Amino acid sequence: MAKPNSPELIIEAGRTERQYWQDLWRYRELFYFLAWRDILVRYKQTIIGIAWALIRPLLTMLVFTIVFGNLAKLPSEGAPYPIMVFAGMLPWQFFANALAECSNSLISNSNLISKVYFPRLIIPASAVIVSFVDFMISGIILLGLMAWYNFIPTWRIITLPFFIAIAFAASMGAGLWLASLNVKYRDFRYIVPFIVQFGLYISPVGFSSTIVPEKWRLLYSLNPVVGVIDGFRWAILGGESKIYFPGFLLSLTLVGLILGTGIWYFRKTEKTFADVI
């Protein structure tokens, strides 16, 4: 019952399909379903279920506050130290989780990839969405902390979605690179946990980036997460918190570059996934 004007699909070697983005839109429901599946499965057969999404960041925050705030007595950008730490930890945890989930997503869905067609971009994207849900849940802790310390954010809080978008782009970009490399070179299975662990030390999560000497700030901003975390702190803490603009722009450019090349590389290798996975 093909409609007389049903579109013709051409399959050829090396053809960049023009319908790709259109297909992505057509398969949006699959995207919801995959994200929904991962969220649903995540906390099945756990006793405290979704509370895991709260406990992990809460405990990490406590440790950082005690080590960096109380013992090392580092500055806190004019806000209570726990709030300062948490404002940085939110995007970091999002980035780290998304990166880990994303880079493994293709491998763990290999049965789908080798048996069904859909734009492969859906899989890493839905992995990022799942981490985003965790991110939203741990956002509740931030609200709780604010209430506890009677901390009222300034108007800057309305710019937060912009920084969330940057965090999204950063994790998606890096995630796409790692996901597609992981399909071919399983070495990346070992590299990703290392990146995540290492990144925690070189990113201003437990401390404020203001303690980095001025002359090193630009170099420090080569880590794109620095820009994201600074942005989050600027938007949430208000008041004394400042953004180091050259560094922020550098981070922003890098994020754009990573996302752009990530999508490019993913699209380039995607057609061979089914053969090598």
Partner 1 sequence: MSDTVIQVENLGKKYIIGHQKPENYTALRDVIAHGVKSLGQKLLQPLGKKTADPAFEEFWALKDVSFEIKQGDRVGIIGRNGAGKSTLLKILSRITEPSCGRISIRGRVASLLEVGTGFHPELTGRENIYLNGAILGMSKVEIKRQFDEIVAFAEVEKFLDTPVKRYSSGMYVRLAFAVAAHLEPEILIVDEVLAVGDAQFQKKCLGKMEDVSKGGRTVLFVSHQMSAVTRLCEKCLLLDRGNLKLDGDVYAVTNKYLQSDLGTSAERSWSDPKTAPGNDIVRLKAVRVVSNGSITDTIDISHPATIEIEYWNYASDSQLICGLAFLNEQGVILFVSNDFSRQTKSLGIYKSMCAIPDNLLAEGQVKVLVQICNAQHLDEIYILEHDVIAFQVVDTKRLETLAEKWGGHIPGLIRPQLNWQSLLLQRL
Query: Shortest approach of partner 1 to residue 131 CB, angstroms?
Result: 19
**Closest approach of Cβ 264 to partner 1, in Å?**
17
CB of 125 to partner 1, least distance (A): 15
CA–CA separation, 177 and 67 (whole Å): 34
For residue 240, the tally of other CB atoms under 10 A from its CB is: 11
Question: Nearer to partner 1 by C-beta: 40 or 143?
Answer: 40
Nearer to partner 1, 36 or 151 (CB): 36
- Closest to partner 1 by CB, 21 or 32: 32
What is each CA distance from 239 to 7, 10, 31, 61, 113, in whole angstroms? Answer: 57, 58, 40, 22, 49
Distances (CA, A) of 105 to 2, 229, 248: 35, 25, 30
Strands (E) in 73-161, as ranges, are none
Q: Which is nearer to partner 1, 96 or 106 (CB)?
A: 106
Residues that bind partner 1 (CB under 8 A): 1-4, 6-14, 27, 29-30, 32-34, 36-37, 40-41, 44-45, 109, 111-118, 183-188, 271-272, 274-277
CB of residue 133 to partner 1, shortest distance in Å: 17
Contacts of 248 (CB under 8 A, 6+ apart): 221, 227, 230, 231
Decide whether 6 or 150 has the Cβ nearer to partner 1: 6
Q: Give min distance, CB of 161 to partner 1, in A.
A: 28
Q: How far apart are CA 20 and CA 127, in angstroms?
A: 20
Query: What residue type is 83 in one-letter code?
Result: I
Q: How far is the CB of 118 from partner 1 (least distance, A)?
A: 8
C-beta of 37 vs 242, nearer to partner 1: 37
Dist CA 271 CA 159 (whole Å): 38
Structure tokens at 56: 């992990």
